[in-house]
Structure 1
Amino acid sequence: MRAVNSHNTPGLAGLRFAFGTLTVLPVRVSRWDRDCAGAGMRWAPLAGLAVGLCAGAAGGLLLLLGAGPLLAAVASAAVPAVLTRGLHLDGLADTADGLGSGRPAEDALRIMKQSDIGPFGVLALVFVLLAQVAALYELYGRGWGYGATAAAVAGAAARLALTLAARSGVPAARPEGLGAMVAATVPARQALGIALLVTAGFAAWGTLFGGYGAPRLALAVLAGAAAAELLLRHCVRRFGGVTGDVFGGVAETAATAALIALAVGFR
């Protein structure tokens, strides 16, 4: 009987794929194929939760050391960028340049592949990061638990957007690249089930805050998913499908929308 390498079983290989490609954590990707990529996209919210918890811990530590909520907010916005090598922010900027160019799909995709960032990309980065810091500042001002929870929600919501964007029926815009590797690898029903599981998990977390904490955390996750879906559909119409940059764009959009929803309603 041939021994089974536990590192290559679909579930564990997918988990390694999620952490190895979506974070800078020292996790070796043991397989690189579409089956493993699909499993990785199913695990993506867990990788996002880990990033979000690290972001919340950084903000909380600064508050403990005597810093104010603004510095804590900046730290919680910076940590995800550091732990993902700025991959999603770069994707957001490239997606904004492609959409803002107004060019046909082929030309827009060529613009997105260029290494420089254009004016639309710069504006997108500025406003998204400002919105994230402003929302986190509001939440850290209400207490460490609110800010840290918001960072965790944003991290998980961002990667849940990747799971939903990788669902069946959403084509790749190019035949190569990470976008093509993960596009349409998650059955739509499974993507929906994972979305419901993540939403329910944060609703349970929200009960710790009493009052309307549960529905507010759940609504924040849903707000992130809805905003990401709007961007995803627009990109599919404009580019003919998704790319790695689009995945980054929907992740940052989801995180920002979730944070804004919490800043507005999480009291």
Structure 2
Amino acid sequence: MAQSPQGDGTVAKALAVLDMVSEFGRPVRFGELLERANYPKATLYRLVQTLTRQGMLSHDAETQTYALGMRLVRMAHSAWQQSSLAPIARPFIDALSRDLGETVHLAQIDNAQVLYVDKRNATRPVAMFSDAGKVGPAYCTGVGKAMLAFLDEAAREHALDQQSYHAFTPHTLASREALEAELENIRERGFAYDREEHEPGIICVAVPILTRNRRVLGSLSITTTTSRATLDDLATRVPRIVDAARDIARAASDWRFPETAGLTELVAE
């Protein structure tokens, strides 16, 4: 059952309904929403109808289902252009994937979680969780740990408080203490590993994308399988990934992010 949002009134409730519809991953009936929502039926119906009238949801009269509306699609496209590193990073991750022949992920931190904003498949693609637009855990992914390690102390403490520490595999760092020790190691060596921590058989190496003053913009990784490579093999690719991360940071030097009045810093040389 969805948790009722606290403190933000009708807007928060409406956003929670949109989140619920999104989580289904398919058109959903009102009754299915009602089973998950922590709202009275009349309240949920009013929210759904308002969102439909505003184009945030669409309603199929024949199947009696609701789906995310085209207005959200337009807003998502605008957000991708305005707030995501993806448009800037595209030529650099294209070149990185082409040069290394492995899957490349570009990610940013979003509410203490990993948001995959772009992906390039390997020459021989591997089925895995991550796709552009998906949200994943930060504490057990290479891109997530690379970003957590380089957040400022206050932001890192807040993000660590939000992690679930669920053990997805026997390799998952399933406690805050274990994760904090790993983040210290990442800061020392400058890059992070995923040692089959989120998915069995999937390994990666990731580096942060940083401004000159060490502000985290995102992270970049290459991912493969244990049947194709070892962590030592991935470590040999780090200099090339670091170069790509620096190129992305340079290209983003004049980019404007929602939380920033203006971004003029360049990545450290």
Same structural fold, with TM-score higher than 0.5 when normalized by the shorter chain:
no
Larger proportion of helix = 1
Q: Structure 1 length as normaliser, TM-score?
A: 0.29
Q: Structure 2 length as normaliser, TM-score?
A: 0.29
Higher Rg of the two aligned structures:
2
Q: Which has the higher contact order (CA 8 A, sep 6+)?
A: 1
Larger proportion of strand = 2
